[in-house]
Amino acid sequence: MVARLNFCLMVMVFLCAHTIVFTQKNADKQANNVDVSRLRQLFAEAVSKDLEIVKDELKERSTKNGGGTYWLVYVKPKRSGHFAIKYTYKYHDKFYEEGENTLYIRAGGKICSRYPQPYVGIANVCLGDTVIVPIRIHNFSEHTFSLKYTNEEPQSIDETKRSSNPYIGDLNTEQISNPLSANLKYLGTQRTENLHRNGGVTIVYSAIFEAKSAGKFSLVLSPNVGDNEPTYKPTKISAGNSTPIIIVNPGTSITALIPKEETICYADKRAFSSHSGNNFLTNLLILQPGDVFSVEYFHETRRPDYMYKAEVIKRNDIKVVPVINKQPFLLSADWNFNEWIVDYLPKENAL
């Protein structure tokens, strides 16, 4: 009986391994059979009025990074405003039949605010910037493309940013040592409480900075609770998780990756649909003087049966301030989609 079970297990392992190899061979074959010239023609017909196509290329993602084949198109907006690039496709799938993805570009003027967010990417670009548009190829075919443009003047986009600054008037502005003062102005610390449905809470501390002058470095933050260090052991951001930062002079053009797409998948002749969002995250911050951003450096989660005890309430008065460290610039190509931007960083003489 045991021998029979072992034999069955060996057969299952072999079949699984064979399936993985077969699937990878199919993916490789599909990538090799993509009619890129046809994709380029259809894409150009849809967007050329509003976007300049700089170049395009096929990219294979490694298995450890999620796998899949993408067609990357590098474009430059020809005018300011909002661009919605939609592409539809047929699935090579037994459940879903077809789908559509929408990617958004918001372009300001030649000198504009790019809305950079740590561990997310750049939500806004300036005229002259190049935008990487990722088109999924793996398991898809029969692509079609369309573009919707909505005008918005550059000054309107900048005004929207100024009026929506979330940090004004909500900071602990205690001054601390800042070895990056030549490039970054420390504005203070923001403490937020995120309540849980079960009655618990997660407390998050973030340091707020303003970019001052051009430079290239990595920012490392760690928490410091001073002489009143509590006995609990909080979860904290590792010092190894540094934030790579490049501050460029106003008017410097950059290459940015669209940070997300919205997806609708259809099945049963469109009787069923599912909605989702896919992120193309990077952890590089490309800033210019005047940009304000935040980086989390400490958080802890308190259980509902523990958070109202006297010693815990007393901890609310303890200041958890950041320790700022400057490190040499380091951008890991293995972090999410950094691999697509690592070869397109601003040149040293542009800083």
Computed on alpha carbons and rounded to an integer, the radius of gyration of the chain in Å comes to 24
Residue 129 and residue 350: Cα distance in Å, rounded?
Answer: 13
pLDDT, tens digit, 9 for 90 and up, residues 299-338: 877 766 555 555 554 455 567 889 999 999 999 998 999 9
pLDDT, tens digit, 9 for 90 and up, residues 166-207: 665 567 777 889 999 999 999 999 888 877 777 777 888 899
Structure confidence at residue 30 (pLDDT): 46
Structure confidence at residue 200 (pLDDT): 77
347 by Cβ neighbours in 10 Å (0-12 / 13-18 / 19+) ranks as exposed
Structure confidence at residue 345 (pLDDT): 95
Structure confidence at residue 167 (pLDDT): 60
pLDDT, tens digit, 9 for 90 and up, residues 224-279: 866 554 434 444 444 457 899 999 999 999 999 999 999 999 998 888 899 999 99
pLDDT, tens digit, 9 for 90 and up, residues 144-154: 999 999 998 88
Position 214 pLDDT exceeds 60? yes
Side chain identity, residue 339: E
Structure confidence at residue 235 (pLDDT): 47
Structure confidence at residue 145 (pLDDT): 98
Residue 236 and residue 13: Cα distance in Å, rounded?
Answer: 40
Confirm if 163 and 111 have CB atoms less than 8 A apart.
no
Structure confidence at residue 6 (pLDDT): 47
DSSP result, 165-198: -TTTT--B------TTTTTEEEEEEEEEEEE-TT
Residue 89 and residue 139: Cα distance in Å, rounded?
Answer: 9
Structure confidence at residue 181 (pLDDT): 96
Beta-carbon contacts of 39 under 8 Å, excluding residues fewer than 6 positions away, are: 56, 71, 135, 143
**Considering the entire predicted model, what is its pTM?**
0.81
pLDDT, tens digit, 9 for 90 and up, residues 43-89: 999 999 999 999 999 999 988 777 899 999 999 999 999 999 999 99
